Amino acid sequence: MIATEKELESLVERALSTDCVGLDTEFIWERTYYPRLGLIQLALSDEACYLIDPTAISDLSPLGELLCDSGVVKILHDAPQDLMILSRATGAVPENVFDTRLAAGFSGLPSTISLGDLITVLLDIDLAKSETRTDWLKRPLDSKQIDYALDDVRYLRALRVLLLTRIINPDIRTWLAEEMEHISRPSFFSGVDDEERYTKIKGNGSFARRELAVLRELAAWREREARDCDRPRGHIMYDKTLLNLARQRPASKQTLKDSGLLSAKKYKRYAEPVLACIHAGLEIDEADLPEQKRPTRLNAAEKKLHADFIEYLDEKCARLGIDSHLVGTSSQFKQLIKSLNSDRFAVPKRLNNGWRKAFLKEFVTSP
């Protein structure tokens, strides 16, 4: 257990002299806006594995030096959340990241595979799952907790080697490298902007543009409030409440109070900012209102083309040994078909860039 800044600096110095390290985090995320970091695991080899104690070390910036060093590969499994937590804890932007879950999808395995299942498939080792509900902020950790945490990084270096040996096709290696470069960008793991948070709230599919504008203001305000108070969004206000406020749009304190949408406590605390959000949403110019996002509906001819596309996609992915989920989503594929059938629809940005554009070129340009 690394529990002092001096020990951390020494460990990071050793890590900087290696070609790659395994990384993972353990955290609690129940009553706070930000995850509370309980443990950082770092593996220099399958035997040289360490636990860094962020509850004892206030300055984790030395670890940031390792994260942003482009000469050392940082191996993680399902990296985005860990990258977000580590970047916030150290103030560093990670570089040269290798995500074993993502790499699995390019090597003939599911791109959603768990770390435990990946270790079983490639190394024939079954990890214990007994500590998944551990309070990682509590000290001391017992031997089972320590072993569990160390095993999360012990095999990452070996997994990277085995995954890369499964990917023989040079084109697929290039695609994998492109994806790995993408996940190191802060935009990939930092989440959506406050002003786009409303798009993550389910239940607004039938909303008019004005209702969406009000919802956008309310969701952005709630995000800022939750962040300032370090409380979960739902502790500030439930999604359902925001949806109802955007629908009803009470214009005064009395109508808001009479609506019953807020408890007495919430009304006393949040009436003014809620009304300010509603007013701001109502004042937005018509041209600046959010666009409605309707489900993409295909006509009979487009459905036939879509079926042909899915057959093509599945056959090509099976032949190349990559998971079709890496290419795009069902919604993006429908939008692609629409774009082929009408100039009014654009090819989804994700499918019109990088390796995905090259992957789909044969189908898109075929007569």
Name the pairing type of β-strands 73-76 and 49-52.
Answer: unpaired
pLDDT of residue 128: 80
230 Rama sector, left if φ>0, alpha if ψ -120 to 50, beta otherwise? left
Residue pLDDT tens, the chain, 367 long: 999 999 999 999 999 999 999 999 999 998 999 999 999 999 999 999 999 999 999 999 999 999 999 999 999 999 999 999 999 999 999 999 999 999 999 999 999 999 999 999 999 999 887 777 789 999 999 999 999 999 999 999 999 999 999 999 999 999 999 999 998 888 888 788 999 999 999 999 899 999 999 999 999 999 999 999 999 999 999 999 999 999 999 999 999 999 999 999 999 999 999 999 999 999 999 999 999 988 888 999 999 999 999 999 999 999 999 999 999 999 999 999 999 888 778 889 999 999 999 999 988 876 5
Are 137 and 28 in contact, with CB atoms under 8 Å apart?
Answer: yes
Domains in the chain (CATH in brackets) are 5-189 (3.30.420.10), 194-288 (1.10.150.80), 300-365 (1.10.150.80)
CA distance 359 to 367: 17
pLDDT of residue 240: 97
Lookup result for tokens 């543009």: 209
Contacts of 225-231 with C-beta under 8 Å, sequence gap 24+, read: 225/270, 225/273, 226/33, 227/33, 227/34, 229/33, 230/32, 230/33, 230/34, 231/31, 231/32, 231/33
Angle between helices 264-283 and 209-229 (to 10 degrees): 130
Question: DSSP labels for 286-326?
Answer: GGGSPPP-PPP---HHHHHHHHHHHHHHHHHHHHHT--GGG
- The torsion angles phi and psi of 25, rounded to 5 degrees, stand at -135, 155
Nearest in space to 273 (alpha carbons), one of 224, 201, 338: 224
pLDDT of residue 109: 98
Are 181 and 94 in contact, with CB atoms under 8 Å apart?
Answer: no
Q: Provide Rg for the chain, Cα atoms.
A: 24
pLDDT of residue 366: 65
Are 12 and 53 in contact, with CB atoms under 8 Å apart?
Answer: no
Structure token pair of residue 21: 């390290």
- Write down the H helix ranges in the chain: 5-15, 61-67, 79-90, 100-105, 115-123, 143-154, 156-166, 170-183, 186-189, 209-229, 233-236, 239-248, 253-259, 264-283, 300-320, 330-341, 354-365
